[in-house]
Amino acid sequence: MLRLVHSSPQPAVPQAAPWAEASDRELLMAIREGNERALDELIGRKTKALLQLCQRILGDAEEARDVVQVTFFKVWENRRKFDERWAPNTWIYRIASNLAIDHLRSRRSRERGQEPVRQHLIKVADTRASRDLSRLQQAEVATIFRELSNGLSEKQRMVFLLREVEGLSSPEVAEILSCRESTVRNHLFNARKYLRQELLRRYPEYAGSFSLEEAR
C-alpha cells in the first residue's frame, strides 16, 4: 500500500460544527427552512433531556426512545408551523409530552412501569422525612410511589412531573398542556396534597414529621 508523505505536514485544525454555536431558536428557524444539519444539531442537544422526560412519563426506556424518535420526526414534519416568538423548549416539550401521553393511553391496560421515584417522594417530604426516605431501597421507593401515583389524574401526574421534576415554570407547563396557569397551580396543589395524604395513610412510619397544612 502506498503511503503519501508531505514534506511539510500541517497540523489539522479542528473545524467547529456550523450549527454548534447557534441558539435553539436559530436552529428551529433553520429547520423551518428545511436545513437537515440544523435538525441533527437539535437532536444532539435535546435527546437526553427528552429521553428523561418521556421515561418519567412512560416508565419504560425503550418506549421513551421510540417516543423521542417520533418527536423529532414531528418537529421536522411540523417545522413550518414553528413561530419564532415561541420558546423553543416549550414547543418541543409540548410535542414530546403529547406523544408520550398518547402512548401511555394506548397501553393503559398494562401495569405502569418503574419511574425515578426517589426525587418525587423527596418533593412531597420535608427535610427530616427526606432523610428517612433516602434510606429506603430504590425498589421499595419505586413501589411506594407507583402505588401512590395511581390515584393521580393524568393531568395531575403530568403537571407534577413537568413542574417538580423537570423544573419548568408554571407558564411553560400551562403552554405545554394547553391550559391556564391557574389550572396548573390547582393540579399541582392537588397532586402534592394527595401524595402527602396517601403517604401519611399508607406509610406513616416514613411520614411522622409531615403536616398536611404544609402541602401547597
* Rounded (5°) CA angle 201-207-208: 110
Within the chain, all domains assigned CATH 1.10.10.10 are found at: 118-214
CA-based torsion, 73, 79, 83, 84: positive or negative: positive
What pLDDT, on a 0 to 100 scale, did the predictor assign at position 118?
44
Which amino acid appears at position 145 of this protein? F
> What values do phi and psi take at 135, rounded to 5?
-90, -5
Which amino acid appears at position 33 of this protein? E
pLDDT tens across 95-137, in order? 999 999 888 877 654 443 334 444 444 444 544 444 444 444 4
Q: List C-alpha distances in Å: 185 to 47, 99, 121, 128.
A: 28, 23, 19, 26
pLDDT tens across 121-131, in order? 444 454 444 44
| Low pLDDT (below 70) residues in the chain | 1-17, 107-146, 205-216
Considering the four listed CATH numbers 1.25.40.10, 1.10.10.10, 3.30.450.20, 3.40.50.1820, the one that applies to the domain covering 118-214 is 1.10.10.10
In the block, cell 431558536 appears at 25
Within the chain, all domains assigned CATH 1.10.1740.10 are found at: 24-106
Residue 118 and residue 6: Cα distance in Å, rounded?
A: 59
Residue 177 and residue 78: Cα distance in Å, rounded?
A: 18
Of 93, 88, 32, nearest to 57 by C-alpha is 93
Considering the four listed CATH numbers 1.10.1740.10, 1.25.40.10, 3.30.2130.10, 1.10.3720.10, the one that applies to the domain covering 24-106 is 1.10.1740.10
C-alpha cell at 209: 414529621
Residue 196 and residue 201: Cα distance in Å, rounded?
A: 9
What pLDDT, on a 0 to 100 scale, did the predictor assign at position 205?
67
Determine contact, residues 24/45, Cβ cutoff 8 Å.
yes
This prediction's pTM: 0.62
